[in-house]
């Protein structure tokens, strides 16, 4: 499955799609539609997809975690604005892969904290009011 996470949906073999449909108790058409929706949403990652593509990087574990955290916040009616990387792009980097990974980890940490705040009935971020 790890190999397929790094491929576009149109590269999935039919046998895999049928297996996914069977184990999810969905029709093949519904499975394909759902995978298309996930792929479309997953690709944006609120700006991180573009950053990763710019440096030809991929961190499937972090990308999925970021995606899930964003979706969890959105399900609680919290709008998450796209990330910008102005400062990141202006800084020098000795190890761009490590720095991109750290940026994703920081974003996940910040969004996870916001998610916990909302679940506790607080504002997502300390400087906001509900």
User: pLDDT tens digits, residue range 33-90?
Assistant: 888 776 655 556 888 988 998 899 999 999 999 989 998 998 999 988 888 888 998 9
Q: CA triplet 114, 116, 122: central angle to 5 degrees?
A: 75
Residue 127 has pLDDT above 80, yes or no: no
Report helix, strand or coil for 121.
coil
Q: CA triplet 95, 56, 80: central angle to 5 degrees?
A: 90
Residue 5: pLDDT band by 50, 70, 90 thresholds? low
Q: What percent of the chain has pLDDT over 70?
A: 86
Nearest CA to 103 among 114, 115, 88? 88
pTM score, two decimals? 0.65
Element (H, E) at 82: none
Q: How many CB atoms lie within 10 A of CB 25?
A: 8
Report helix, strand or coil for 75.
helix
Residue 7 and residue 5: Cα distance in Å, rounded? 6
State mean pLDDT over 91-116: 96
């Amino acid at each position: 499955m790890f190999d397929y996470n790094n491929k576009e949906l149109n590269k999935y073999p039919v046998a895999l799609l049928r297996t996914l449909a069977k184990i999810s108790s969905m029709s093949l058409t519904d499975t394909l539609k759902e995978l298309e929706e996930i792929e479309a949403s997953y690709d944006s990652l609120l700006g991180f997809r573009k950053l990763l593509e710019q440096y030809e990087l991929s961190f499937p574990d972090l990308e999925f975690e970021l995606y899930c955290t964003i979706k969890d916040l959105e399900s609680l009616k919290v709008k998450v604005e796209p990330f910008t990387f102005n400062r990141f792009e202006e800084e020098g980097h000795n190890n761009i892969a490590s720095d991109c990974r750290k940026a994703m980890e920081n974003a996940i940490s910040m969004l996870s904290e916001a998610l916990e705040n909302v679940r506790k009935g607080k504002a997502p971020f300390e400087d906001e009011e509900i």
